[in-house]
Amino acid sequence: MIGDRAGYVAHVDMDAFFASIEQATNPSLKGKPIIVTGSALRHSVVTAASYEAKKHGVKSGMTVYEATKLCPDALPVEVDGKKYEYYSETAMNMLRNVSPSIAISSVDEAFVDLTYYERISGAIYKLNEFRRTLKSRLDISASVGIAANPIIAKMASDFKKPNGFTFIQRGFEQAFLESVPVSDVPGIGKHTTVFLKSHGFENVGDLLKADKFYLFKNFGNAFLGLVKSLTSHNYSREVFFQKEAPKSMGHSMTFGRDISQLEKLESIISFLGSRVVYRMRKEGYEARGIGMHVKYTDMKVSAISKKLSFHLSRISLMNEISHWLLKKIWNGEPVRAMGISCQRLRKLGPSSEQLHMFHKDRDPIQVALNMEDRFGKYVLFPASLLAATDASCISLKNRDLFNKSFGRGQISRQRHVVNVAHSH
């Protein structure tokens, strides 16, 4: 008998999620190479690709132009955020039939606590049942990894994609990791991979056999801790599966064509900033930090973060700060995409400023949120953005704001910590 009640964890990862949803909802796309993107224009960014396109080397983050050079037959499909949100919520609710304790790590993946099962065979049966139901009900697939360690579980879910199922029995972690490339370890990025290879570390097995002091001396204590954690079963399950408060909230937008007018960029960043404030207020948060990134035609990205000396929860203040940040980092070149985020979040307290003490009017943000709850997102839209922006340049649909992670790996952060004075 394999397994025990001492505890395993599963990682469930939907396969090519956005692209698979498009193929599921449009049978004519099945078996064809498709790329999901903000628009069909050549410099739009690939949000996701089907496995038929991935076989040609197409990856998320590429421009449509780059993707179609690799795969000339690729069919561009516009992002549809509402549809993906529905599929994600449905799949996660189905996953709660496997275990009442899940930790959702993104729109298409989650960890599942399996300690509720006396035997691991029961958990495996329920996870396979979930995969069958997912296919029959939503016509998409998921890959599953099971291990006694959440990091190993995540790596195992990637091992036999798509539609894979990998179980790493307790005590066999090192054998599994022996030939896994160091680049496949969560937390090891491109630059660290190059640095590791320059020291002769190609596979995880090389790291596990290495002298611990050597790793500490050359890569630091945090990296040494990561290596040790790969074969450790000692992690707090209660902490890992508890619902974590968001660390940041943000919105970004990729344009149909480049924009080089400051007035238009200010209007767009005001709109994105207002969306962030709406989200924060809807979930009951305010911020002590703000970040912005601007992506240029040549794919270079300027980014900046600021620590605030006050809590931010009002659109008027967000506009002041975002316009100031934009002028600080924009180099005057045409802009392809931009985004803004609020950081260092905390729950709104009773002392948080909502309205002027003598105002009897209702909170305008709350009024807007109530309208959106009733009539849908973007029922209220700033006229200044419509006036300043060519309609052919920006689409005003929900899906344009869904992809909030474009070019994330290309952002070279320029962090500045300051106290911003604010006077009423």
CATH number of the structural domain spanning residue 132: 3.30.70.270
Domain containing 350 — which CATH number? Answer: 3.30.1490.100
421: in domain: no
Over residues 65-86, the mean pLDDT reads: 89
CA distance 266 to 385: 9
pLDDT for residue 398 is more than 50? no
Give residue 375's pLDDT: 52
Asked whether residue 326 falls in the same domain as residue 228, the answer is: no
The phi-psi region of residue 299 (left if phi > 0; otherwise alpha if psi is between -120 and 50; otherwise beta) is left
Structure tokens at 355: 């309205």
Asked whether residue 115 falls in the same domain as residue 163, the answer is: yes
Full-model pTM: 0.64
CA distance 136 to 352: 48
Asked whether residue 223 falls in the same domain as residue 161, the answer is: no
Give residue 372's pLDDT: 57
Asked whether residue 124 falls in the same domain as residue 38, the answer is: yes
Structure tokens at 283: 């979930």
Asked whether residue 216 falls in the same domain as residue 314, the answer is: no
CA distance 218 to 72: 44
Q: Which domain holds residue 191?
A: 171-232
314: in domain: yes
Instruction: Give the pLDDT confidence of 152-200 residue by residue, as tens digits.
Output: 999 999 888 899 999 999 888 888 888 888 888 888 888 888 988 888 8
Place of tokens 């954690």: 229
Which has the higher per-residue pLDDT, 118 or 380? 118
Provide the residue type at 333 as one letter: E
Asked whether residue 146 falls in the same domain as residue 177, the answer is: no
φ/ψ of residue 181, rounded to 5: -60, 145
CA distance 252 to 258: 15
Which has the higher per-residue pLDDT, 391 or 126? 126
Asked whether residue 152 falls in the same domain as residue 186, the answer is: no
Over residues 221-229, the mean pLDDT reads: 85
Q: Are 294 and 328 in contact (CB under 8 A)?
A: no
Give residue 391's pLDDT: 41
243: in domain: no
Looking at residue 184, what DSSP letter applies?
G
CA distance 173 to 292: 40
Least Cα distance to 64 among 49, 81, 51, 86 occurs for 49
Asked whether residue 221 falls in the same domain as residue 354, the answer is: no
Catalytic residue of the set 22, 109, 173, 266: 109
pLDDT for residue 400 is more than 80? no
Q: Which among 207, 232, 257 is the end of a domain?
A: 232
114: in domain: yes
Band of the pLDDT at 203, cuts 50, 70, 90? confident
Domain count, the chain: 3
Asked whether residue 225 falls in the same domain as residue 262, the answer is: no
CA distance 235 to 254: 40
Asked whether residue 270 falls in the same domain as residue 204, the answer is: no
CA distances to 3, 128, 242 from 239, rounded to whole Å, are 23, 27, 5
Helix (DSSP H) and strand (DSSP E) numbers for the chain:
16, 13
Asked whether residue 27 falls in the same domain as residue 161, the answer is: yes
Q: How many CB atoms lie within 10 A of CB 39?
A: 20
Instruction: Give the pLDDT confidence of 302-339 residue by residue, as tens digits.
Output: 999 999 888 888 888 898 999 999 999 999 999 988 99
List the alpha helices (DSSP H) in 27-138. Answer: 51-54, 64-70, 81-95, 120-138
CA distances to 151, 312, 367 from 316, rounded to whole Å, are 42, 10, 16
pLDDT for residue 67 is more than 70? yes
Give residue 221's pLDDT: 87
109 labelled catalytic: yes
